[in-house]
Structure 1
Amino acid sequence: MKKILALFTLLLLLAGCSAGAAPVMYIQPAELNEEEEAVAKLLGADTDQHLFDVVLDGTAKTVRVNTYVLEDGKWELVTGGGGTTLKEGEQKGRMAFGFEDLRGEYREAVQFGKDFTAVKYGSSEEIDDPEGTGRTASFLAGRTEIVYEREIPIAIQINTTKNQVLSYDLEYFFQPEEYEKLGYEHVYALTVMFSQEALS
């Protein structure tokens, strides 16, 4: 009986390990309560605004937001490189991104505790696309683990005159050559990265 009980306990432990524990630090689409949803709709944040909840372990010092354009199968930095300083010990926050076309203006906002920063990048000039150009974007749709110094793709946007558009899982950000193979005219990416390093 002891052997059976020991075997059963071992199987339970193995099952628990294989199920995978929920990440301690993560980013996910924001879960808004009714009041927050009403305010978001009032401000138009239910259209081209994307809100995310962030949970950290209190040791993050900065968050960086970068945008990229795909050139010859590699991501080339368009905006970013700087970052926002986070107060020591901050663990919960929100981030928001708003854009129609990453080639034009885009807005980012970061809120942790009572600290709030918002920045707008890009040009407000109208983009002159060839007739028949379509645009599609994929956004982070589920809870994603935050690992310090590792970029997390938040959105990938495709602008093309092709009739058929394939949009891969965001993890394909790390395989940009796959997008290059599809021959789209413009492919852009938006990422965030959390760091334990202070801004230089």
Structure 2
Amino acid sequence: MEKEVIVATKNKGKVKEFSQLLSKEGVVVKSLLDYPEIPDIIEDGQTFTENAAKKAETIAEKFNSTVIADDSGLIVDALGGKPGVFSARYAGEEKDDIANMEKVLNQLLDLPDSDRTARFYCAIAVAIPNSETRIYEGACEGYITREPRGKNGFGYDPIMYIPEKEKTMAELAADEKNKISHRSKALKALLSEREEIFRS
């Protein structure tokens, strides 16, 4: 029998990635897009882990079922770790991928390639009723390009260059991205405990 899990996000890109990664495990993904009456959860944590846990626990309590939530973003060394937890709204309260990328590129304008190191980081929280919330982490290292490249993915993918692939995240096909991404690495750690998490 297929198992169903709620992913606490309204981000279509994330829903698509989680669905691609979890469908192989026989897990059907529902998201907050399926429950439009639920308001956005305020992400006021100081860390990715705090935000992921808050989202997962809030929705798990509401539905009394297992809920997965992630908080992820871009960490740029030359910017002291920014955008960090503010990645989605780096250029303003409205989530605007293009404006966010432009802000990062402008801030790095004069930096040589060697100083443009960055990573995508992901914390996934799994909230299980009557159980302690579990946290799984993943990261993907790279460099910030000088201009966006590629049409795939979402967020900062077009400006995140992955040296081992010689492409930006947005130039990778979905299955390529899903092998190396921060989210897939965190999810791989989660799936190592799948029996406990998805038990009926």
State the TM-score, normalizing by the size of structure 1. 0.27
Higher strand share: 1
Larger radius of gyration: 1
Higher helix share: 2
Larger relative CO (CA 8 A, sep 6+): 1 or 2?
Answer: 1
